[in-house]
Amino acid sequence: MIYKIKSLLKKIFIFNFQNFINIIFNYYFIIFISIFIIISIPFSQAILFPDSDGDGITDKLEIYAGLNPKEDECQPRKCRGISIQGSINGEYMILLLGQNLSMQDKSFDGVTKLDSIKSVVKDYVQNSPNFIRIGAYTYGRQGCSAFDELQSPFKNMSKSNLIKEIENLQAAGSGSIALTIDKLRDELKNKKGKFNILLIIDGLNKCEGNLSDSLKKLMALNTFQTGIKVFIAGIDIPKDKIGELEKIAEDNNVRFSAINSSSELKKIFEPPLKEVISSLRGMICIQIELDDLIRCESNKINQLKRISIRKLNNPIDKDFNAEEKDYFLQQIPEVEVKSKIKLEAYDQYKKETNGNYQKKIIELSKIITTETR
């Protein structure tokens, strides 16, 4: 009798265990398939609906609309290589300053690294042009803290108050640089403007996060209305660590400068200010082509609308299958929105004169010359 009970219990255990294993397998299998489908959708669309010139219009749709699928014909011809992303919506300088404990170590000029940095940053704030809005944040105020606000770039600023805030900074914690970049990304998401970000560090801290991954996500915010440029100034970085930072910068289209002397430290604002000058020159250049660009964007929309009426909404048309028609009918309104944004920006460009841009360039050039002395 005892033997039969043991045998029965054994069978029940085996049966339930097998059922348990099957449930677990099926659960994770469903999750795996769901993730695979989600990942595969954009990949399959890229294969079925290629966009060779990256202008947001599928090649086949461009061909039937009489556009060039190999080249975005509405790009400036004479101003290639000049980035004006976000510039029409204003220029910003975002400062990220470290309060990590290592900043209290002596620097190349005999005082602490933080005091050297504070001196240069205060000089910039005092002399900064009014047309560049300043944002200032710190990391490492305590523990592995990140993104403590000194000044929001989206609020009115008092130069004297910001200088006092900078003067009061003390080296205290560790600070997560990666988390600071993540939080800055959240702050800039859906904002319009050209954001020149100066990150001042003295090494890579041991707090959580991956700086390279965080920079990739930040740089992904770049659109016609939002421009992101990142500049990293590495203060007294050990030689065996410079290569790692250079690799991170190269992988993410970021400018890295190793700062090893007082004269180099005084020039840390030179790269971002030169970027602003480049944007201003780009806008001067764009002025020459504005009429052609406006005409091109308007013509592109009209051609897409015509193809929509003649073919995509035509039930007897055989040039496009049902799947293509559905996809393209969703795509055309998205292209219209992007073109409208560009046309509105071009109208703003027309209101500015080349003389205004030129005055700003001269003002920035004077600041750069003063800093390099």
Interval 345-365: pLDDT, tens: 888 888 877 788 899 999 999
Mean local confidence (pLDDT), 208-230: 92
Give domain 87-268's CATH number out of 3.40.50.410, 3.90.470.20, 3.40.50.880, 3.40.50.2000. 3.40.50.410
Interval 167-187: pLDDT, tens: 999 988 777 899 999 999 999
- Answer yes or no: are the C-beta atoms of 272 and 83 closer than 8 Å: no
Q: Which residues pair with 181 in a beta bridge?
A: none
**What pLDDT is stored for residue 150 in this prediction?**
95
**What pLDDT is stored for residue 38 in this prediction?**
41
Q: What is the DSSP string of 138-178?
A: EE-SSTT---EEEE-TTS---HHHHHHHHHT----B---HH
Distance CA 349, CA 284 (A): 9
Mean local confidence (pLDDT), 56-70: 88
Specify the range with the lowest mean pLDDT, choosing from 16-25, 179-188, 267-276, 344-353.
Answer: 16-25
Tokens 């560090």 sit at which residue? 201
Indicate the angle between helix axes 270-307 and 354-371, nearest 10 degrees.
150
Q: pLDDT band for position 36 (50/70/90)?
A: very low
Interval 286-296: pLDDT, tens: 888 888 989 99
pTM of this prediction? 0.78
Q: Within the chain, how many helices (H) and strands (E) appear?
A: 11, 6
Domain spans of the chain?
A: 59-80+280-371, 87-268
